[in-house]
């Protein structure tokens, strides 16, 4: 469970960085 809890936010954060980079 701990791995899943950490993996999901990690993926969302990575996706957010990708979107931010594209906007810039």
The pLDDT value given to residue 3: 62
pTM: 0.39
Residue tagged 């957010």 (tokens): 16
Gap between the Cα atoms of 8 and 24, Å rounded: 25
pLDDT digits (tens, 9 = 90+) for 1-24: 566 666 677 788 888 888 888 877
3-class DSSP assignment, residue 23: helix
């Amino acid at each position: 469970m701990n791995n899943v809890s950490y993996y999901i936010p990690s993926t969302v954060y990575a996706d957010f960085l990708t979107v931010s980079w594209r906007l810039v």
